[in-house]
Each structure stands twice: as C-alpha cells, then as structure tokens.
A and B are shown apart, each in its own frame.
Chain A
Amino acid sequence: MTALLSVLLVWYLLGGLLPLCTTRPHLQNLFAHGCAAAAGVVGIVLGVAGLLSTAPLTLSLASNIPHLTFAIRLDPLAAFFVLTISLVGVAASIYASGYVEEFSGRVSVGLLGSLLNGFLLSMTLVVLADNGFFFLILWEVMSLLSYVLVVTEHEKPGVREAGLFYLIMTHVGTAFIILTLLIFSQETGSFSFEAFRHPDQQLPEGLRSIAFFTALIGFGAKAGIVPLHVWLPYAHPAAPSHISALMSGVMIKTAIYGLIRVYFDFMGGVFPWWWGFTLLVAGTVSALLGVMYALMEHDLKGLLAFHSVENIGIILLGIGAGMIFHTYGLHELAALGLLAGLYHTINHAAFKALLFLGAGALQFSTHTRHIEEYGGLLRRMPWTGAFFLIGAVSIAALPPTNGFVSEWLVFQSLFLSFQLPTLFLKLMLPIAAAMLALTGALALACFAKAFGMSFLAQPRSAHARHATEVPWSMRVGMGFLAGLCIVLGLAPMLVVPLLDRVTAPLTGAAISSQVLALDGWVVAPVTVEFSSISTPVLAMLLVGAGALGLLIARLCGKGLRARYYKTWGCGLNLTPRMEYTATGFAQPIKQVFETIYQPTVKLEQEFLEQSKYFIKHQRFESHIEPVFEKYLYWPVVTLLLATADRLRIIQAGSLHLYLTYIFVTLVLLLLWAG
C-alpha cells in the first residue's frame, strides 16, 4: 500500500507540474487531466485496499518544526474518504478534459489543470493526515486552492464577491478547527492524532463539551450546516462546473470526515445524549431549509448547492442517530446510523457530482445557468439529459437508485428509536423521520422542477434552441458517475461490507452480516423482522411490470402507430411563453411555506388615463428574504465594521504615537515576564 500511496502522490505531482512546463493548450490539457485521472484510479485501488486491510498503514516523516510531523495513517475511515474523493476525481478529470474548452483563451488551461491536481491531492491528504499541524496545513491548502479555483472567472460579476465570502467563511471555520485541536493538544501535550485518540488522555468533561461545539462550528462551516451554509449558494455556482462537482461532492465531505474523526475516534465515542441530539437537530434543520431554498432558486448550480446543504443534513441525521444510540450502549444501532450516514456520503458524492457535471454541460451548450432560459434540452442533448435524469432520480431517493438505499437506512435508524429509554428521544427521532419524509418529498418536487423545466417542453430561449450535445469526454465523465449511482443502488451487498469495516472499529459492533440477509440480496436494519428491502428485486419488479404494461399495450393496440400533432393551446399556436415557468411551478410551495420564505412582492402598474381597468405597463418583482444573511450575518458585519471604525482612533498616522505604543507594549511585556 505504501507503493500505491507513492504512485498516487507522483501522479498528482506530475499532474500539478507538467502542465506548467508547456504552453500548448492541448498538451497541458492532456497532462493535467490524464495525470489526475490516473491518480484517481490509483486512489480508488488504494481506498479499497485500505478498507480491506486488517491493520492501518502508518507513515511518518519528522520535521524540524516542533510538533509538526508529516504523519499519514490510512485506517478504514480515511480509506473510505480516499475512495470517495478518487471516484469523483476520476469522473471530474475526464469531464474536465472536454469542459475546459469553455475557458480556452480566457483562462490558462495549464494553470487550471495544475490547480485541479493540487486540490485533489490536498483533499486526499487531509483525510490521511495523522498530525494536527499537518492536518491544518493541508486543510488550509485545500481551502485556498478551492478559493483560487472558485474565482477562476473573476472577471465575471459576482464571482470575486462569492470567492471572498467563501474565503471568510472557510477561515472562520478553520479558526474553530484550530481551537478544537488546541484543546486536545493542551490536554495531551502533543499534536499527534495518535495521542489525541489515546484512551488514557481523555479530556475533562467541560472541555469535551467545548471541543464538541468548536468542532461542530469549525467543520460545520465547511460542510454547510445551517446557519453556516450561506457561502455554498454563492461559491458553488461561481466555480467551473467540475470544481463545483468536487467541492459539493467531496470537499464538504471532508468536514463529515472531521466530525466523525473527532467524535468517534478522538473522543473514543464517549459522549452525552445531547451531542447526538444536537447533530440531529442541525441535520433536520439543514435538510429542510436546504431543500426549501433550493426550490426557490432558479440558477441551476445554486439550486444544486442548496441541495448539498440538504444532503449534509441527511448525513448528519444518520450520524446523529448513531451517536444517540451509542450513548445508550445500543452499539449495533449506532453502527447502523453511522453506516447510513456514510452510505449517504458516498451516494451524495456520486449523484451531486453527476448533477453538477450535468449543469456544467448545460452551461457549456447554452452559456447560461438560468433554468427559465432552458427547456426542450432532452431532444437536443439526449445523453446529458439521460444522465441528469439518473442523478435527479437518485437525489430524490426514488427506488431502486442509491439515494433510496441510504435514505431508507437513515429512516430505519430513526424508526428504531423505540429501543431508546427516554420518551423525549422516542418522540423526537420519529419527528425527525417525518421531517426527512417532508425533505424527500420537497426534493422530489425540486428535481421535477429542475429536470422538467430544463429538459422538457419547448426551448424558452435562443440559447436553448441552439444547444447541441457536449463532447464525448464530458459524456464519459457523467456516464461514469451515473453508472456509479446505479451500482451503489443495486449492489448494496458490495458497499455494506466495506462500510462495516469503517463503522465496526468506531462503534464496536460489526453489523455487515445482519444488515445483509439472503446472501446480500436483502438489506435490513440489523433485524430482518423489523424491515427489509431488496433493490435488485425492486428493479426486477419494475422492469417486469413495465414489460407487462408494454405487452398489454401491444396486444390490445394491434401495432397502431402513434400520430404526432401539436399540443392543444386553446386554439392558439403554442409558444414557449405559454409554458409553466420554474417560478410558477414553485409558487404554491412558496405560498404554503410563507413563514419560512418571507416573500416580498413588488407590483408597479401604470394605467391608461381614460380608465383604470386598462393597464398600460406593469412590472412585477418577487423576492424571498435571505433570512440568515439579513438577521445573522449583516448584524455581525455591521458590528465589525463599526468596531473597526472606532478603533481607527488609535491608528492616527503619527509615527511618535506608534513608537509610544511599541514602548508601552514592551514595558508591559517586561512587567508581565518579570
């Protein structure tokens, strides 16, 4: 495995350096994306090998800086995330080799490709790092590289602001992560993760709770947990689409990795029930608000970004339920909850990356991201459409796709709450399940909107009318992920044993044999009596019933060929302007959930002078209130700016004054030291 790891490093480094050594764009393209794809393939092998190996692989390289060692540890948890990152990395790299055409002449393809390799490498190493300092350096490299990639098209309006917002949010998060690691190092006297997880060096009670919150805020800012999610809908649409796919599909997952690492590994899985409950609440709120805001978003990539908030919420529901069960010693159920969360992690990586790549393909062909300007694209881009549909069905958790399997497992772990001892939790977990059901239904509505408005009916703009299918490399990238969605859905018997190797050491219960019954054909939450599903059988049933319908239609219809005629338009010729819009589609939902959206409507009408019943001109505007930005972020920003203004008094611009400051500081320091 050491050899595999070295090969992986070499490929990424080559991919980072070679494109900068040549000026010919197609060579740069080949080097950058070829190396990244090759490294990704090695990463997939490494991840699977790491999951299957019995002992974790550890490597360490000392440095001259105190506390910093370049320590690497490939345990099952890290291996799972390496696998996830590499799977999406391969698809994104192949896709990018065609997609970067979009940027040719504007942005250096070589630099973009080189940064892509660096970004992938930093994410891979973040989950492998086994030293606090090393981890923070890599975390920072990952954040900065993703920032640079977000602002690739900095000449476009809004992109720099989005990048800056992301940069600030991610650093707020980093500050809290530093705080978490400092708490641990304060107690253990070391920055090595090995010392953190040592059972003899557990933190005292109060500090543990502080570390819980700092870790939640720190990683939550990266993951996009509500209310720290505000940067996602700005940064993800601004980035090039393969970068959005990586950021949304895998980068935010490194935060999930961090949370599991801290709570289950460093803290040894010892925590009070309200930790898990806090995650459960955060998960429910994120899932629900994420999908609700997604429904009102008509920038396709912004919509997908909000869905990342939703899916992070679903992952947290699984992990939170797992933590609650763990507190009460229900280790098998704890393993189930954690397994459900991790299953959803890899599933979300697959379908969200696929959808972002699909959105990129639409942008590539139509040069717009606005859903209202799409329409009729399925006939013009049949491959992209089919792949996007697979992604949409998966994210809406419809059987027999992968999203269904993991969401089903999350449901089961919430339903099994009747085994908990307190009535409060017995009631709260099913309510979370009901909210998850609402989330799932809203996600269905949202992707019916996204797919229906983009791909069906007539084109709503000239952009959409002249769209053509994207190059084959982009289709291969999307096809790979679409295939992955189907495999992850139909073959849980391949996935669950691997995930079990991650959760078993963390929760102390191996449940693979219980989750998989009947040679892996059936998935059950620990007990088959409670419930079970079998996606392969469901798929066969669907195909069989569909074939039956086809047969009946054939037998009765006597081979009558369909006639094609225009849609009924009440006697008028049907134009795209008569179609339902995405805004119109989501309008009832906006009205029903008014309290959450706080919509504002502005209507300006100008009437004819002769009569107020004839409108000469009118203008309609409708917005939804960005509640978190308005009530949470703006007050903080305003306060900061006001404080900074006040503090300008000490910055008077006089050299004598500054020398006095230095002198006073020096005296104070000497006094303190003495």
Chain B
Amino acid sequence: MQSIIHIVLVVVQLALLLTLSPFVVGLIRKVKARLQCRRGASLFQPYADLAKLFRKQPVISSTTSWIFTAAPYIVFASTVAAGLLMPVFVSHTPLNFAGNIIALVYLLALGTFFLILAGLDAGSAFGGMGSSREAIVATLAEPAMMLSILSIALTAGSTNLSTIVHQSALMEGVVVAPPAHLMALAALFIVTLAETGRVPVDNPATHLELTMIHEAMLLEYSGRYLALMEWAAGIKLLVFMTLIVNVFAPWGIATSLAPSAIAVGLLVYLGKVAALALVIGVIESMFAKLRLFRVPEMLGAAFILSLLALVFFYTLKG
C-alpha cells in the first residue's frame, strides 16, 4: 500500500512538473506584457507552441554529431530527474533518498553540460558564443548556490530537501536565524535568475546575437528537439521556483498524506508559484539586461550574501 502511494505521488509530481511549467512561462510573459501596457498572448500560448513544435519536421545541421540529437533528451531527462528529487506539494517526497540538494544541483549541471555541447555542435559562431557565456554564468552561480543552500541546511540539520522543507514547515516558518535566511533567500534568488536565463542576466525573449545566451545555444534547434529544450528550460525555471517557495515559505505544504492536507498543499503551492512568477515578471520589467561582464559582480554579491548568511547563522545561534 505504502509503495503504491509513493508511486502515485511520484507520478503526480511528474505530471505536475510537466504540465505546470509552460503555464509559469506563460504567466511571466503575461505579467510582463501587462506591465508594458500590452494585452499579451494567452496564458496557454506556451502549450500551443510546444504542441506545434512537436508536430513540426525538425531540421538538423548536417555538420553535427549524435550529441546534437541526444542533447535535448539528456537535458530534458536531467531537469525532470532533478524535479523529482524535491518536495513540491507534499513535504515528504518518495524519491528523497535518491539525492539531496547537491545531487539536484549536479543533475542540473549535467543538463547544462550537454546544453553547452549542443551549442557548440552546429559549428556556428552564435552557438559557440552562447555556450561560452553559459559556461561563465553557470560557473559563477555555483559557489553562491552551494553556500546559500548550506546555510539553510544547517537550520534543518540536513541537506535532504524533504527534511529541510518538512522541518521548516513544522516550525511554521519560524526560522532560527532570520537574517541568515533572508540573505540566503536573496542569494538563491539571484542564482535563480542567472541559472534560468532571466533578465538581468539573459533575456529569454531576445534573438539579438549580442545579448542572447540560452537562445544562442538553441539557435540551430527546430521541431521536437526545440520543443524538448524549451520545455526543459521551463521545467528548470519551475524547479528553482519550487525550491525557493518550499524552502523559504513552506507554509501550507502537506506534511502528512491525508487527502485534505494534500489538497490544501496543492492549492497553496499553485498560489505561491503564481506569486513568485509575478515577482519575476515585475523584476524583468524593471531592470535592463546587464552587460555580460557585469554579471560576475552580481553573482559575486550573491556569494557574499550567502557567506554572510552562514556567518550570521553561526554567530546568532551562539
């Protein structure tokens, strides 16, 4: 019985990640459109885009190798696998044992690795440029991410995501060292913007060769391969957003498997993700994209914030 419930939970989580991610992308676009006084496309436009792309005949560059066609599947698989390791609307996720937060970070890195390779494979200068930029952004985001995670993990006494979320949910968000958590939140938020290719690091809407990072790597993709890449990018965004809302605002998440708790957990989760999407949309509208060599400064600030979070954690706790 227990194992059936676990399998059902994993399947529901998988379905939620797959179906919700295009909606989040659509929601952020809508928020930006409204702030620019445009009506904007429908909230469900990303679904239509994906469906269209899946049905189109892909064109593959004749200079590429098998890496080019395998990469979309690997990127998709690594992002989905990372999404299954974390709690979404139930604090106890069945696959928790398979990987902690570091495994999640490294699974996403696996996707980044193949994304960079895919960008290089077509042999166009655009892809190489995107790959090179992705490499530096991903590199600089990593230490800040690791330290901010650690300062959260220390409060819960665990680096297992379920335990972290469960512990802080039981404490009803009463955190041991609030300044530490706020700083870690700020650091992780900056990392999220960088890792998921949002303004001010990258502009997901651009196709101007001098500014794009993620889009440059995907430039040669079309059809189902592009669909998988776009979908994976959406899921990655959702993974980071889920991480933020569940770790820093775990209120309402189902801490037991009672149907009512799960229903509440699901609704609250959707609400929190929508709120965060709103915040991201507003930030994207307020800021201009940074010059590439300004990005290290921003990520350096994130690193310092996460380091301070750690210092505060130890000093305030006594």
What chain B residues lie within 8 Å of A544 (beta carbons)?
77
B154 touches A418 (CB 8 A): yes
A566 touches B110 (CB 8 A): no
Knowing A427-B310, A445-B139 touch, does A531 contact B132 (C-beta < 8 A)? no
Nearest chain A residue, comparing its CB with the CB of B98? A537
A415 touches B59 (CB 8 A): no
B122 touches A546 (CB 8 A): no
What chain A residues lie within 8 Å of B306 (beta carbons)?
434
Knowing A533-B99, A578-B125 touch, does A415 contact B150 (C-beta < 8 A)? yes
Q: How far is the CA of A397 from the CA of B51 in the complex (A)?
A: 35
* Chain A count of residues within 8 A CB distance of the other chain: 89
B283 within 8 A of A: no
* Interface 1/0 per residue, A56-77 and B, CB below 8 Å: 0000000000000000000000
B153 touches A578 (CB 8 A): no
Q: Which of A103-111, A169-177, A265-273, A549-557 faces chain B? A: A549-557
A542 touches B117 (CB 8 A): no
* Interface 1/0 per residue, A563-599 and B, CB below 8 Å: 1111111000010101110001111110110000000
A553 touches B59 (CB 8 A): no
Nearest chain B residue, comparing its CB with the CB of A581? B128
What chain B residues lie within 8 Å of A445 (beta carbons)?
116, 135-136, 138-139
B99 touches A534 (CB 8 A): yes
A566 touches B62 (CB 8 A): yes
Q: How far is the CA of A404 from the CA of B109 in the complex (A)?
A: 11
A156 within 8 A of B: no
A379 touches B65 (CB 8 A): yes
What chain A residues lie within 8 Å of B8 (beta carbons)?
none
B131 touches A448 (CB 8 A): yes
What chain B residues lie within 8 Å of A330 (beta carbons)?
none
A640 within 8 A of B: no
B146 touches A433 (CB 8 A): yes
A393 within 8 A of B: yes
Most chain B CB within a 10 A radius of its CB, from A433, A441, A557, A587? A441
* Interface 1/0 per residue, B84-107 and A, CB below 8 Å: 100000000001011111110011
What chain B residues lie within 8 Å of A441 (beta carbons)?
109, 138-143
Most chain A CB within a 10 A radius of its CB, from B54, B63, B121, B158? B63
B3 within 8 A of A: no
Q: How far is the CA of A56 from the CA of B147 in the complex (A)?
A: 43
Within 8 A of A (CB), among B27-47: none
A564 touches B97 (CB 8 A): no
Within 8 A of B (CB), among A406-437: 408, 411-412, 415, 418, 423, 426-427, 430-431, 433-435, 437
B117 touches A435 (CB 8 A): no
Most chain A CB within a 10 A radius of its CB, from B65, B67, B163? B65
What chain B residues lie within 8 Å of A408 (beta carbons)?
102-103, 106
What chain B residues lie within 8 Å of A404 (beta carbons)?
103, 106
Which of A412, A546, A556, A566 is close to B55, meaning CB atoms less than 8 Å apart? A556
Which of B106, B143, B160 is close to A398, meaning CB atoms less than 8 Å apart? B106
What chain A residues lie within 8 Å of B233 (beta carbons)?
none
Q: How far is the CA of A564 from the CA of B57 in the complex (A)?
A: 11
B266 within 8 A of A: no
Within 8 A of A (CB), among B290-318: 292-293, 296, 303, 306-307, 310-311, 314-315
B249 within 8 A of A: no
Q: How far is the CA of A589 from the CA of B140 in the complex (A)?
A: 10
Q: Which of B176-184, B219-227, B253-261 faces chain A? A: B219-227
**Nearest CB on A from B3, distance (A):** 14
Which of A431, A517, A542, A553 is close to B78, meaning CB atoms less than 8 Å apart? A542
Knowing A379-B65, A437-B145 touch, does A552 contact B54 (C-beta < 8 A)? yes
B102 touches A531 (CB 8 A): yes
A452 within 8 A of B: yes
**Size bracket of the B interface:** 35 or more
What chain B residues lie within 8 Å of A397 (beta carbons)?
106
B314 touches A541 (CB 8 A): no
Q: Which of B68-76, B197-205, B240-248, B274-282 faces chain A? A: B68-76
What chain B residues lie within 8 Å of A549 (beta carbons)?
72-73, 76-77, 80, 228
Q: How far is the CA of A591 from the CA of B136 in the complex (A)?
A: 10
What chain B residues lie within 8 Å of A541 (beta carbons)?
77, 80-81, 84, 95, 98
Within 8 A of B (CB), among A335-392: 376, 378-379, 385
B66 touches A378 (CB 8 A): yes
Which of A412, A532, A565, A592 is close to B293, meaning CB atoms less than 8 Å apart? A592
Knowing A562-B60, A568-B219, A588-B292 touch, does A458 contact B73 (C-beta < 8 A)? no
B63 touches A458 (CB 8 A): yes
Nearest chain A residue, comparing its CB with the CB of B311? A427
B55 touches A558 (CB 8 A): yes
B54 touches A553 (CB 8 A): yes
B67 touches A430 (CB 8 A): no
A538 within 8 A of B: yes
A669 within 8 A of B: no
Q: How far is the CA of A661 from the CA of B291 in the complex (A)?
A: 72
What chain B residues lie within 8 Å of A411 (beta carbons)?
102, 146
Which of B74, B123, B143 is close to A546, meaning CB atoms less than 8 Å apart? B74
Chain A binding surface, main DSSP class: helix
What chain B residues lie within 8 Å of A434 (beta carbons)?
143-144, 146-147, 303, 306-307
Q: How far is the CA of A90 from the CA of B112 in the complex (A)?
A: 34
What chain B residues lie within 8 Å of A412 (beta carbons)?
102, 159
Which of A438, A457, A563 is close to B58, meaning CB atoms less than 8 Å apart? A563
**Nearest CB on B from A442, distance (A):** 6
Knowing A538-B103, A563-B59 touch, does A440 contact B142 (C-beta < 8 A)? yes
Knowing A457-B63, A574-B63 touch, does A452 contact B143 (C-beta < 8 A)? no
* Interface 1/0 per residue, B108-134 and A, CB below 8 Å: 011011001100111111011101110
Nearest chain B residue, comparing its CB with the CB of A532? B97
* Interface 1/0 per residue, A588-621 and B, CB below 8 Å: 1101100000000000000000000000000000
Knowing A378-B67, A399-B107, A567-B122 touch, does A433 contact B150 (C-beta < 8 A)? yes
Q: How far is the CA of A441 from the CA of B101 in the complex (A)?
A: 16
B206 within 8 A of A: no
B271 within 8 A of A: no
What chain A residues lie within 8 Å of B78 (beta carbons)?
542, 545
What chain B residues lie within 8 Å of A519 (beta carbons)?
none
A548 within 8 A of B: yes
Q: How far is the CA of A447 from the CA of B139 in the complex (A)?
A: 13
**Nearest CB on B from A490, distance (A):** 13
Q: How far is the CA of A404 from the CA of B314 in the complex (A)?
A: 29
**Nearest CB on A from B254, distance (A):** 21
Nearest chain A residue, comparing its CB with the CB of B106? A399
A396 within 8 A of B: yes
Knowing A441-B142, A553-B228, A556-B51 touch, does A415 contact B159 (C-beta < 8 A)? yes
Which of A435, A442, A563, A568 is close to B57, meaning CB atoms less than 8 Å apart? A563
Q: How far is the CA of A453 from the CA of B146 in the complex (A)?
A: 29
What chain B residues lie within 8 Å of A569 (beta carbons)?
124
A415 touches B153 (CB 8 A): yes
Q: How far is the CA of A440 from the CA of B139 in the complex (A)?
A: 8
**Nearest CB on B from A178, distance (A):** 40
Can you give 30 contacting A-B residue pairs, CB < 8 Å? A376-B63, A397-B106, A399-B107, A426-B314, A430-B147, A431-B307, A434-B303, A434-B306, A437-B143, A440-B142, A444-B139, A445-B135, A447-B113, A456-B117, A530-B159, A532-B98, A532-B160, A537-B98, A541-B77, A541-B81, A541-B84, A542-B110, A548-B80, A556-B54, A557-B223, A560-B55, A562-B59, A563-B59, A566-B62, A567-B122
List 5 A-B pairs, minimum CB-CB distance, nearest first. Answer: A580-B128, A457-B123, A556-B54, A546-B77, A452-B120
Chain B contact residues, CB within 8 Å of chain A? 51, 54-67, 69, 72-74, 76-78, 80-81, 84, 95, 97-103, 106-107, 109-110, 112-113, 116-117, 120-125, 127-129, 131-133, 135-136, 138-147, 150, 153-154, 157-160, 163, 219-220, 223-224, 227-228, 292-293, 296, 303, 306-307, 310-311, 314-315
Sample of 5 more A-B contacts, CB < 8 Å, known A397-B106, A434-B146, A562-B223: A430-B147, A531-B159, A556-B51, A568-B219, A588-B292
